Structure 1
Amino acid sequence: MRDELRAKIIQVCNKKMAAKGDNVGLSFYAFFANKNDDPELLMEAATWWIHTHQLDHFVKAQTIKTMVENNM
């Protein structure tokens, strides 16, 4: 996963947890605006989420943040 996506995921997870608590769930769409302005980055996130790790649609932000920080 490229550094740009890794940083964005951690930033969004931190923001969501600060606003809604550590139990907040999110999908990989949370890392992107409603406008698909970077399809390659979106596909990279989707591949990591769906294909590589076979995660459910919604996963706790803390879990995702930990996975990204540990280079999983």
Structure 2
Amino acid sequence: MRDSLRSKAVTICNDKIAKKGETVGLSFYAFFANKNDDPDLLMEAATWWIKTHELDHFEKALKVRDLILSGA
């Protein structure tokens, strides 16, 4: 995952955790606006989420953030 997406995803996870608590879930779509203006970046996130880590559609934001921060 490219650094810019990694940084954005961590920020979004942190924001969700701060607002809704450590049990809040999200999908990789949370990292994007409600429009497909960068399909390559969306596919990069989807590949990381689905193929690389075999995550469910919704996962705990805390788990996702920790995976990203670990460099996985």
Shorter-normalised TM range: over 0.9
Q: Distance in 2 between matches of 1:39 and 1:12?
A: 19
Q: Deviations over 1:52-72 (max 9, x none)?
A: 111000000000000000011
TM-score, normalization by structure 1: 0.97
> Residue in 1 aligned with 2:71?
71
Q: Distance in 1 between matches of 2:57 and 2:34?
A: 17
Question: What's the offset of the Cα at 1:34?
Answer: 0.3
1:34 is paired with a residue whose SS is: coil
Moved over 6 A (4+): none
The gaps in structure 2 that reach 5 residues or longer are none
Aligned pairs for 1:24-35 (under 5 A) are 24-35=24-35
Q: Structure 1 vs Structure 2: percent identity of aligned residues?
A: 64
TM-score, normalization by structure 2: 0.97
Q: Partner amino acid for 1:41?
A: L
Aligned pairs for 1:36-51 (under 5 A) are 36-51=36-51
Taking only aligned residues, the RMSD between alpha carbons, in angstroms, comes to 0.5
